[in-house]
Amino acid sequence: QNPSMLRARYYEAHDLIKRAWNEPKPFSFNGRFTKQRYVNAWPRPIQKPHPPIWIPGSGSVESWRWCAENDYVYCNLSYFGHKASRAILAGFWREMESMGKDRNPYRAGYLQFVGVGESREEALRLYKEPAEYFYDRSLYVDPRFGGAAGYTTEATIRAKIKSQIVQAAENATRARPPETEFDNIVEEGYVIVGSPDEVAEQLRDIAVEFNVGHLLLLLQFGNMNADLTQYNTKLFAERVMPQLHDLFDDEWEDKWWPAPLPDARRVRPRSLAAQNFVAAAK
Asked if pLDDT for residue 167 goes beyond 90, the answer is no
pLDDT digit string, tens, across residues 82-94 = 888 888 899 899 9
Of 1-5, 97-101, 129-133, 184-188, where does mean pLDDT reach its minimum?
1-5
User: Could you give the dihedral angle defined by the CA atoms of residues 165, 171, 177 and 179, in that order, rounded to the nearest 10 degrees?
Assistant: -10
Asked if pLDDT for residue 162 goes beyond 70, the answer is no
pLDDT digit string, tens, across residues 224-278 = 999 999 999 999 999 999 999 888 988 999 999 998 888 888 777 666 555 665 5
Rounded to 5 degrees, φ, ψ at 199 are -65, -45
**Averaged over 197-218, what is the pLDDT?**
96
Give the Cα separation of 113 and 133 in Å (integer). Answer: 14
pLDDT for residue 212: 96
How many other C-beta atoms can be found within 10 angstroms of the C-beta atom of residue 59?
26
Secondary element (H or E) of residue 116: strand 108-116
pLDDT digit string, tens, across residues 113-133 = 999 999 999 999 999 999 999
Dihedral sign, Cα of residue 177, residue 180, residue 183, residue 185: positive
What percent of the chain is predicted at pLDDT more than 90? 57
pLDDT for residue 22: 92
Burial class (CB in 10 A: 0-12, 13-18, 19+), 273: exposed
The C-alpha angle 185, 231, 195, rounded to 5 degrees, equals 55
Q: Between 60 and 158, whose confidence is greater?
A: 60
Radius of gyration of the chain (CA): 22
Give the Cα separation of 225 and 232 in Å (integer). Answer: 11
SS3 content of the chain, % helix, strand, coil (to 5): 50, 10, 35
Identify the bridge partners of residue 155 per DSSP, sorted by sequence position. Answer: none
